[in-house]
Each structure stands twice: as C-alpha cells, then as structure tokens.
Amino acid sequence: MVIGPITEELAAKQLVLSSADRAELAKLVSTVALNDHALTLFAIAPESAPNHPIVEEFQAQLLRDLDEPLHFSTLFYSDDSLFNFLGRQTNQLVSSSGRQVIFAFGLEQLPTPRKKQELEQLNLAREKLFEQNIVVVFWLNRELFLNEFRHRAPDFWDWRGNVAVFEARHPLLYPYLEWLISTNAYLTMSGVMQVNRQVDIFLDQIYVSLQAERKRQVSVPVAKGQRVSTAKVASSSRQTAEHSIRHDQIDAIYDVVPELMPEPMLEIKEEFVELERSAPKIVAESVALSDVVRGATACSVILGAPGAGKTTLLKYLALHFARALRDGQATVPGEADGKDLGEVRLPILFKIADYAERLEQNPALGLLEYLQQFYRHWEDYFEGDSAAAADISIFLLEQMRIGNCLILLDGLDEVFDQKSRGRIVERINAFAEQFGHNNKLIVTSRIAGYQEVKLASRFAEFTIVDMSDQQVSDFLHRWCGAIEKAQKPEATLEQQILEGNRQSEQILRDIRQNEGVKRLTTNPLLLTILALIHRNGEQLPERRVKLYELAVQTLTADWQLSKKLPNMQKVLLPEGEVVELLAPLAYWMHEEKPSGQVTHAEVIQQLAPRLADLRGEEAESSEIVRAVEEFLRRVRETTGLFVERSPDVYGFMHLTFEEYFAAREIADKDPDEMLETIQRWWNEPRWEEPTLLALGYYGSYSPRQFNRLANRLFEGLADYQPSLGYDKIALYGGEATARIRWSRSDSLDESQDISLKALLFAGQVIAQVGEVNARLRKALINKLTATGLALEDDSVFNQILQLLRRIESFNRQGEVIEALESVIENSELSKELRLKARVSKLYVLCSEAGSYLLEYVTEIFEAIEPNIFCALKDLAEEMGEEMSPALEVLRQQLESNETQKSEMTLITAISYLREKYYDKSIELLEALRSSDDESLMPYILWSLAICYQEKKDYEKAYDFYQLCFERLTSCIEPHALLLYWRNWGVCQRLHSKYEEALDCFQHMLAIAQETQRLKEESLALYHLGRTYQDWSKYADAIAQHEQSRDRYQQLGKETDVADSWYWIAACYRDWGKYEEAITAEQQELAIREKLDDQPNIASAYFQFGRIYQAWGKYADAITQYEQSRDRYQQLGKETDVANLWAWIADCYRDWGKYEEAIAAQQQDLAIREKLDDQPNIALAYFQFGRIYQAWGKYADAI
C-alpha cells in the first residue's frame, strides 16, 4: 500500500461491488475452474490496479472456490515484457505444483511503439504461452482498447478465454502512475540515431547518476588585526631523477629504484587584515544530482549544456517516484550505492514548451490553471471523459496544497522567444511562491540564455559537470550489457554479460586512442551517439569524422525536431548554414586563438563578410550585423555548438567541434589549396587532428580526388624502401625532430633522412581513411613494419605497433598480418627480428576475439621457450591492457578442449603481468598449477615468480624461481636459460641478496660468451655493474660498466654506450669522486649531442647539476640545472621543467640562500598548479616547510 497522506486519501474511498460486477466476477472464476489448461482472460476495470477492489475480490474468490494450489504474481508492463517475465518464472513454474496466475497491468498505457511491439510478440509467440499451464489475466481500463488488441494480435485474440467488464471505479492514482511509469521507463533515442535492430532499453539499465556544481557565497570570519597566510599549491608526484629526467634504454624494467626528486614547494604570502570581521567568498561544492531532490532545497534549477542529461534526470525521478508510490514504499530507491531519493512524493512532470504553446493561445493562462487542465496526453487517454479528467486534476491540486508533490518542469530553454520566456519565468516564480514551500520543485534549462531571464533567488542553481572517466566507463558497461540482453534474448545471462563487457572495453580502448573522441564522451548525448555508432559496426575512433558529423547533425536538427516543440521550424538552423558560417570561423580561431575564446566583436568581424557574401549584401550593413547577431543567438540556444563562456566571450562547446569545423573548412578548399594547407599544418601538434579529419571527410566524399591528393602528400616517402635485416635503419634527434636515418646495404656510407613524424602521419591517414588505394596502403604498411621492427627504441616501436593494429582493425584486409608473417617466415633474418614480429602479430590479432587469435595462441605454445616467453612478458608490460579483453573473451568461451583452455588461460595471465593486475594474474596462474601439461608448467611458475617479485614479496618469488629452474632444466638446454638467469638475478638484487644476484648474472654472462652473443654479454656486464653499484662496491661496478660500454662500442650501439657513461658517472658521484663523475658525464653528453638526442641532452645537464650539488658546488649546480630546465622548456616538457625548479630550490636551500629557494619553489608550484597535479601540490607545501625550517622560521614551516 502507498503511505502517508496519499494513503489516507485513497483509504477514504472504499468501493462496494454492484450485483453486475459480482456476476462478472463469478463468470471469470467459473472460467478458471472449468479449464485445466493455459488460459487468457480480459478484465475491464476502470482505474485497474493491484489493490482495486475487483482485483482483490477476484483473487480471494479463486483461492476460496478452487480446490487446487494457485500461485499469484503481478506483472507491470511498464517494468517488463510478458515473455521476459515468463522466462524468469520458468524454474518456479516447473518446480511448483498447481497453476500460476499472472495479473498483467498497464498494457494499454504503454507508449504506442512499445505497445505495438508487445501485441505483435503476443500474436507471434502465442504457442509458447499456451504450452505452459498458466492463467494470464490482462487487467485493462477501457473496453475500447479491445478493438486495438483484436486488430494487432488477431490470432492471440482468437485463443482468448472470457472477457469481463466491470463498473466499479477506483481512485485515479494508479492508472496515472502506471501511465507515468510506462512513459518514462524506456530510454528515448528519437532524434539521435537508431541501432540496426530496434530494441527497448530500460532507463534504469543504463542510467548513471551525474554530478553537479553549486556555487554559493559564504562569509569567512576574519578577526581584526589577524595575520592571514595564503598559499598556492603544486602538482604531480615528484618523479625520480633517473625516471623523470633521463630516458633509460637498458633493460629499464629491472633498473634500480631511483631516488626521490626534491619536492615542489609553495608560495606563502602574509598580510594583516585591519577592518573586516568577515569576508565574502564564492565556494563551489560538488553534489550528486540525486542529492538535489534528496536534500532540503525546495526549489532548484538544473543547468546544463545540450545533451548533458537534464531531461533524462527528470524522467528518472518521475519513474522512480511513481514506482515507489505505486508499490507502497516508504522511501524512493534509486542509487546503485543503496542511497534512496528521499521520501515518497507524487511526481508531476511536464514540458515547459507545452505550457508555452498554450500560453500563446491564452496569454492569461496561469501555470496552476494549466496543471488543472492537466496533460494533453492524459486528456487523450480519457478520450472525452471530462469527469475523470477533472477527478485527477482535483486530486493533484489537493496533493500540491498538502505539499506531497515532486513537480518537474522540463526545458525552460526550449521557449526560444525571450519575451515569452520572461512571461513563463514570471508564472513559474508565482507558482513557486504558492506551492514551493512543502513540495519539491525542479526546473531544467540550458546554461545558454538562462542568466538573461532567470528564475527568482529561491531557486538554487545546480550546473551539471562533465562526466568523469569512471562515469563514462559505468555508462558504457551498462549500455552494452542492456543492448546485448535486448538483442540476444536467446543467449545465456553469462554470455550476455561477457559480450557486453567485451563491447564496452572495446569502445573504451577506442576512446583512449584519440583525445578528440575522449572529449566528447564527457557529454551523455554525444557518448550515446558514439555507443550507437559502434553498435552499428563503425570503427572508432578511426571513423570519428563520421561521429562528429552525426553529432553536429543531431545537435542542429534531429534532436531538436524530435522534441516536437512549437514553432521549431522558425528557429531551427539548417545544418548547411551552420557549417557555412562556423567552418571558416573555426579555422580562423584555430589559427589565431589558441585559448579557444573570442570576443563578440571578433565573431561579428569574422562572420559578417561570410554571411554578406552568401546573401550578396554589404558586410557593413546593419541588416547583416543583425543577421549575425540572430545566428549567434540561435546557434547558441538551439544547438549548443557555439556557446557564450562569459559575457561577450564565445567558444565552441568542445575543442573537438572547433577541430571538426576547421577540418570542414580545409576540406572545402580546391585540391591544390587543400594540399598546401595540409602541408603547412600537419607537423604542428595543434593541427594534427583537423588535418586528419579533413582528409577523412574528403576521402569519404571524393575518393578519387583524395587518392590523387594522397600520392602528392606522401611523395616524400616514395624513395624510402627499407629492406629489413639488410639496410641500416637508425633513429636520430629528439622527440619533436626525430628522423630515421636509412642506409642501403649496398651503400652503407650513404644515408637518407626521413621524418619519423611524416611516416607516422601517413600511417594515421591509412588508419582512418578507407578510400586509400591498396597499392599505396600496402607500401606504407611495409615501411611501417620494417621501421618498427628495426628500431630499438621501445617507445617508437610501441607507437608503430599500435598504429599497425589500428590499420588492420580499420581496413580488415589482412595486410598487416601478411607483412608480419613475411618477416616471421624469412629464415635469413635474425631470430631477434623474427621473434619481435611473432609477438607483434599476437598483439595485432588481439584486436578481436576470433578463431585466428585462438589458432595463433596454439601455434605460439607449440614453440614456447624462454625467449618467446620473455618477449610475451615484455609486450604485456607495455601493451597488455589492449590485449587482455580479447584473450579474456576467448578464455571464457572455451569449455571442452582442456589443452586450448590451459593455453588461453596462461596467455591471458601473461597479459596481466603489469602494474595493478598482478593479483589477477596470480588468480589465473594458481588455477593452472594443477594442469597436466608439463610444457606449460615452467612458464606458469616463472609468471608467478614475476608477479611476486613485482609485489615485492621476494621470498615467494625466490621459491617460484627455484621451482621454475627445476622444471626448465629438465626440458631445455642450459644455454637457453640466459634470460631466466637475468630475471632471477634482478629479483635477488632487488632483495639485496647481492652475492646470489652476482652468481645469476655470472651464469648469464657465461652463456652469452659461450654462444657468442655480444649484445647479451653487454647486458650481463651491465647487470653485474648495477649489482655492485647497489652494493656500494663502486670500483667493481665501474669496471663492469666499462666492459659493458666497450662491447656496446663494438656493436655500434651509441645510445647504449652513452647510457654506460651515465652509469659510470653515477657511480663516481655516489663514490664521492666528483671530478671523475664530471669527466664521465661529459662523455655521455658528447654522444647525446652527436645523436641530436634532445631529451637526453637535457637529462645530461641535469646529471651535471646532481654531481655539482653533491660536491657542494652550488653555483655550478644551479647553472647546470638551469641549462637542463631551458632545454626541457624548449621540448615542451612542463613536468620536467617543474622538476628542475624543484632541484634548483633544493640547491639554494642546501646553499643557505633561502629567499632564492622560496622563489624557485614558487616557480615549481606555479607549473604544478597549471598541471593540476595534486600529489605534487601537497609535496610543494612540504618543501616550503623544509626551506622555512632550515631558515629557522619555524612558525612558517609549521
């Protein structure tokens, strides 16, 4: 039963059954008694509900008069469909004795599309229903609905049992609630786009509670004469010298744990407040939107951008409050975390635009009078029954006067005329004055235009904030799960969940690959469009130009039209006009306005000539200026694409839209001008996205012209045809200016330089433009494959590998797989190159869970040995996040083949050998320890050893390494254990067991020397040096590093030689031999400069500073730090710049120059705040404290 005052209202209206109603009841009971098979009955009872006296009496008579067990259940069509309901009841029907009697309510009150679907389903699946020993009673409100039932489900109708028509009425609350629930229970996608197969998605299945921000002015007490300290904060956890500043190339996974950088600090200013006892301060507090209705605020306005979820929020509230009232609950359940939505209230939801339309017809119409007339849909439902309509309106008015209502007014912004909006605001304010005390009143509006005509101060303002990454993930998991359940009802629940998770993880990976797409996901409407595109089979983010195009189309037309607002055609902006004006504006802004903001005057100045040109008028004419003003207002208020960020300052809704419209302007140029524009901008990071989008748009609409353009665009790469394994391919220069130096095998003294960025840009184009001809695409794939496999720079290899996977996933031609297989099968190439290609193929295949991936995993384990295992482990550490989802899907699908299941479980566990996932890996590996497959057991144990090593549980790691060794030595030759000895040695070193570590690395060195593998010998000597260094045996460490350096010199590995000089310098510094440290560091710097390796040149200057600071030569140290800082500044590495300011501050503190230390730390802090790096902001305060403490200013330090 419902509760509170509403219950009392209903309880006072007890009904007495007439003789006619009793006769109809007897007829129904007799029909059930005389039939022992499936039966359908139709009962017409006005305002039918579970507690309607007719319903209650019918159930009581069945229990009293029938000599058989009966089991009653209630179905609300607003919550579920009949066949889904029956599916969940199957076990109960099978196991229980007696018949099941189902009372079905609300069929006729469903929205028309859903009602048609349910009736068609009844007609088509009637045999399934009649196979079961059940009685279904359709409780209806109107006899007239039987005509529609007969028309839409004629075959089902022919199989009906009896039809009974009753006279007794019931209070109108239940039909009203059922109508409200059914109207709002489903997600409305009209105006967005449709999935390939129309499905119904329950709002509850996908709803994610959003956050809002409320700004309030508060008074902060300040005592007279009080000293006030103010401080700013820094950011980003301080990284270590070796990890944050220099870029180690040698086996970085197992390098020593580096020292902490000196931490950032904080600027503190002090002043005396002489007069104020309190000071006003604007504070912003974050609240969940559900708290708006749960809290004490009576009147609220929810503000948000287009598609932010305002209407969905009100539908969600109406749904949950109506359902709680219908089901007799004390509070309204809502949140997934178990929080309720507050006390039960009667929900009243309507669109302000409907009221505005009535107001135009009757300017004197007040909001209360409009509510008394009630919803036009509800009036249609009663079909002229004015007495019934009057009853419900009177009932609602009574509840409002009592204060039992939740009144939801949606879409103040949808009244486009400012004067009309002003009148409506007046009426809402008057209504709130009368009813806004005990009731809850919530209004929604877009941000744009609200401040010009806003509600009274009694309305607390809440602004919806962007969705967080976690909310995006939650929504996508719910969305994909709901789609799977709706589209594949024949699948098991486990299969639906598994596939839904796979789909959502795929979308999340696609989102993470492109910043432009990621920016859109903060808006619920645009996120929904993205999810729908993915469901329709499009590739994301490769087809993101289509995503943006659909988003613009949705915001400018489809979504607005779907609302069926009055006078919409008058205010709607044609998409063509929006593009015609916003495209050149976006291009100009992208070129001239990095802030993304322009003044009102600048917008007029840019748009007036364009609009004048379109209309054939003078740009200076007052008509054109007024037309631009009107365009700005309409594009702001109806589309939200171009918004007013502050008074007279404008910008695009997202940078993504600025980039899209700038791309449209580029693509609109003639081919020569377009080529010139792209060649001008493609190398600029800020222009990368617009140029790629322009090519994607151009290719989709002019494929032949695009290919002519592409050939001209990439002609600089035409001569670059590297032969893997023969030609010399090396990387030179820093990150921004990186070049590939290529020498043919027949002329190694001659070389050509190719821009790495140009090659990567070409790869990005073929990864997102499907119209590239096959010849050009294959040529570029071969260049990328050879380059990635040949280069030893892991970051570049990973970048190229990710690009190759995207190309394969987008084009689905098997060309990347073919290129990798040609390397794997070429016996003339080195084992190292072929192994690299083998694991690369696995990574590419992991883009999709299919038979090819399953077959390839089997192929890998047929040849498994330590080198393959370590290559897989190294790949997983860098790329495992992108591999695990597909492997998980296959692992969970396998059931019968135990060998394949074990192999798939192991490869999945290996993919989890990365930070934060070691426990997951351990869980899978422990399940495999009972496996009978002896060939897999060494690698299961090795993987466990790695997990515990990374978890710093060295004793367990040692035990598993020992078990692994026993298994490995029984099945492979001793010389194959080289990598095993390396891993075990690193574990011993990290555990400070230096003698045992040295023994392992000596075994590694012996195998390398025996097999004449000079590179591995260099690596073994490096590890010996690192072990002696950690043991503080610096002379021995230097001797080993020098031997490692000499061997790298023989191999021509100049980067590794430079790294060895770095470690030698670090040893001398820690040993206190500073002159020798400086000499060694100079050797490193000379090589870095020769290689034009700008990041590590900056790092080398940093290392000079470390040496001079340890030496006590603070002036020299600061000079070196400043050189390092300036170089990082040129490279745009702000975190490293901040780190250098911190080191400079640390140096000044050690030097006793505390004012300079504070000034330097303030510079560090400013950058940390700009980066919003909260951990280092906290650390900055700590550093300020250290400086003040050293200075003797203890109060400030504290």
Written as one string, the DSSP assignment of 229-274 is EEE--B-SPPPPIIIIIS---S-GGGSPPPPPPPPP---EEEEEE-
> pLDDT tens, 369-390?
887 765 444 544 544 454 555 5
DSSP codes of every residue in 95-164: HS-SEEEEEEE-GGGS-HHHHHHHHHHHHHTHHHHHTS-EEEEEEES-TTHHHHHHHH-HHHHHT---EE
Q: Residue ranges of the chain with pLDDT lower than 70?
A: 1-16, 89-96, 169-172, 188-200, 216-284, 335-338, 373-393, 416, 448, 535-543, 557-573, 646, 736
Rounded Cα–Cα distance for residues 865 and 856 (Å)? 16
673-700: burial string, b at 16+ Cβ within 10 Å, e else: ebbebbeebbeeeebbbbbbbbbbbbbb
- 4 sits in the region (left: phi over 0; alpha: psi -120 to 50; else beta) called left
- Other CB atoms within 10 A of residue 1064 CB: 28
DSSP codes of every residue in 1116-1174: HHHHHHHHHHHHHHHHT-HHHHHHHHHHHHHHHHHHT-HHHHHHHHHHHHHHHHHHT-H
pLDDT for res 309: 85
CATH assignment of 299-457, given 3.40.50, 3.40.190, 1.10.3470, 3.30.930? 3.40.50
Name the helix (H) or strand (E) containing 392.
helix 386-402
Q: Which residues pair with 912 in a beta bridge?
A: none
Rounded Cα–Cα distance for residues 402 and 439 (Å)? 8
pLDDT for res 170: 63
Rounded Cα–Cα distance for residues 779 and 90 (Å)? 59
pTM across the whole model: 0.69
Strands 440-446 and 460-464: unpaired
Q: Retrieve residue 1134's tokens.
A: 């702000």
Handedness of CA 896, 898, 904, 910 (dihedral sign): positive
Rounded Cα–Cα distance for residues 156 and 82 (Å)? 14
Per CATH, 299-457 and 568-668 having the same topology is answered no
Q: Which residues pair with 329 in a beta bridge?
A: none
**Furthest C-alpha separation in the chain:** 113
Q: Where are the alpha helices (DSSP H) in 635-684?
A: 655-667, 671-681
- Other CB atoms within 10 A of residue 76 CB: 23
Rounded Cα–Cα distance for residues 870 and 242 (Å)? 24
pLDDT for res 837: 97
Handedness of CA 1041, 1045, 1051, 1057 (dihedral sign): positive
Rounded Cα–Cα distance for residues 1079 and 1074 (Å)? 9
**CATH number for the segment(s) 18-167:** 3.40.50.300
Report helix, strand or coil for 337: coil
DSSP codes of every residue in 966-1000: HHHHTTS-GGGGHHHHHHHHHHHHHTT-HHHHHHH
Q: What does residue 208 show for φ and ψ, rounded to 5 degrees?
A: -120, 125
Report helix, strand or coil for 573: coil
How far does CA 158 lie from the centroid of its chain? Answer: 51
Architecture, CATH, for domain 568-668? Orthogonal Bundle (1.10)
pLDDT for res 896: 73
Rounded Cα–Cα distance for residues 199 and 177 (Å)? 24
End-to-end Cα separation, the chain, in angstroms: 61
DSSP 8-state code for residue 686: G
Domain limits of the chain? 18-167, 299-457, 468-521, 568-668, 672-717
DSSP codes of every residue in 454-497: ---TTSEEEEEPPPPHHHHHHHHHHHHHHHHHHH-TTS-HHHHH
> pLDDT tens, 770-823?
889 999 999 999 999 999 999 988 889 999 999 999 899 888 899 999 999 999
